[in-house]
Structure formats: C-alpha cells, structure tokens
C-alpha cells in the first residue's frame, strides 16, 4: 500500500521531479523546496534580473544568486516552487527559484 502511495507522488510531480528528488534544494530557512504539486516551469516574463538579484514580478519577491532558495535549473527554463497562497497576491509566493543553466 505504501509503495503505491510513493509511486503516485513521484508521478504527480512530472517535469519537476528533479527538484523534488534533490534534498539539497532548500529554501532560505532550510526546508525542502517542494512537495509533489508546487513546482512548475514559469515564463521568463515572470522574472527580472539585475546582477545577482532575481525579482519575481507576480509575487514582488527578491532572490539572490548563490543564496539558499536560488539554484541553477537543469535546463534552459525558469522554475519556481510555491508556498501557500497569500491575500493580495496573484500567485502564491515562491519559496525557491531556479534560473536557466545558460544564464551568465
């Protein structure tokens, strides 16, 4: 029974399974970035970069490269892992952000 539940969780994560499986991906507080349903690819228009700073525009958040919660993506896409929905935001806040590997 437990095996079925674990398999269902792994399958539910789909394309973002690589994030869920890596225990080194933690938010700024040291908690794992994601659960099976909260990580997804996002459009480049959701972010703005200024040097090492990454601004997540829909949630008005700032992440900094080389800090916990900010990681290189395994592909050329942007990804985020979201927390709980908060009032006044169009999207739940990101707990982790993954920037494209080809980013300088």
Spell out the domain ranges in the chain. Answer: 2-99
- pLDDT per residue over 11-38, tens digit each? 445 888 899 899 999 999 999 998 767 8
φ/ψ (deg, to 5) at 50: -135, 100
pLDDT of residue 13: 59
pLDDT digits (tens, 9 = 90+) for 54-101: 999 988 999 999 999 999 999 999 999 998 877 877 778 899 999 997
pTM comes to: 0.79
Cα 7 to Cα 40: distance, rounded to the nearest angstrom: 19
């Amino acid at each position: 029974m437990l095996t079925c539940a674990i398999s269902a969780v792994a399958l539910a994560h789909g394309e973002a399974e690589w994030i869920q499986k890596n225990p080194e991906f933690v938010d700024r507080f040291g908690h794992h970035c994601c659960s099976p349903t909260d990580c997804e690819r996002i459009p480049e228009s959701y972010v703005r970069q200024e040097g090492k700073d990454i601004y997540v525009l829909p949630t008005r958040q700032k992440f900094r490269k080389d800090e916990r919660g900010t990681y290189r993506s395994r592909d050329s896409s942007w990804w985020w892992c979201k927390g709980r929905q908060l009032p006044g935001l169009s999207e739940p806040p990101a707990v982790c952000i993954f920037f494209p590997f080809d980013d300088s």
